[in-house]
Amino acid sequence: MRLLLFFSFFFINSFAWSEVEDNVVIVLSLDGMRHDYPLRTDSGGFNIMEEEGLKAAQLVPVYQSSTYPAHVSMATGVSPAKHGILHNGFFDKKKGSYSYSPDASWIEVAPLWILAEQQGIKTATYFWVGSETDWNGHKISYTKAPFNTRISEKEKISQILSWLDLPEQQRPRLIMSWWHGADSKAHKLGPDHNSVTTQIKKQDKLLLSLIEEINNRGLWDKTT
């Protein structure tokens, strides 16, 4: 149901096998991005990622394939049955009602940013599900909260670049950010509406602007 612009494999290899201390992994989730949506645009960041990186041939989504379970699975590498976020809203016999909760204590498996922090790697999150609070007492070096749908991708890009501009010892080497994608418009108007295509093209250009700014800083070759 959404285009994944990262692979956990890259995360593991970038940190576990590389001797380059300033490598950076950036994980972006464009919400509601159907697998064929990028085919509707050809002048932005999607093409660059496919040409200079990798594109998955297929993806098997988690169940339920909705925002909260999927994002926590991306962050933990396990299914909802293991990480505990079964849907956007559900009832737990012991904890009670869950509904789009920002409380990370609901997550039963350590997210990537916690695993990295435990290894002395600074991380940053901008509106990733489960990152608004500490996880079992473990903190994130940099995070933005509370979640606000009115925050634009331009603001997120500005913050991501500010993190990248930090001195090397302070710079996060994992950055994870949620973007609007086409989720809202597709829910309201249907996946084939012209407004959805317009939104996809806007997101594509924003992705391109981020890539260009990273390249201008001389960090593109050090960034996954």
Please state the rounded mean pLDDT for residues 17-44: 85
- pLDDT tier, 59 (very low <50, low <70, confident <90, very high otherwise): confident
| Model pLDDT, residue 2 | 39
User: Which helix or strand (DSSP H or E) is residue 124 part of?
Assistant: strand 123-126
| Model pLDDT, residue 125 | 98
Look up tokens 């609070």; give the residue. 133
Look up tokens 């250009």; give the residue. 205
- pLDDT 10s digits, 127-154: 999 999 999 999 999 999 999 999 999 9
Question: What pTM, to 2 d.p., does this model score?
Answer: 0.89
Give the separation between CA 176 and CA 50, rounded to whole angstroms: 20
Is residue 211 within 8 A of residue 219, CB to CB? The reply is no
What's the half-sphere exposure (Cβ side, CA atoms, 13 Å) at 165?
A: 8
Under DSSP, is residue 162 helix (H, G, I), strand (E, B) or coil? helix
Is residue 117 within 8 A of residue 141, CB to CB? The reply is yes
121 against 10, higher pLDDT: 121
Residue 125 β-bridge partners: 143, 176
Give the separation between CA 190 and CA 4, rounded to whole angstroms: 21
Instruction: Name which of 33-37, 114-118, 120-124 the model is least confident about.
Output: 33-37
**Percent above pLDDT 70 for the chain:** 91
Q: Mean pLDDT, the chain, as a whole number? A: 90
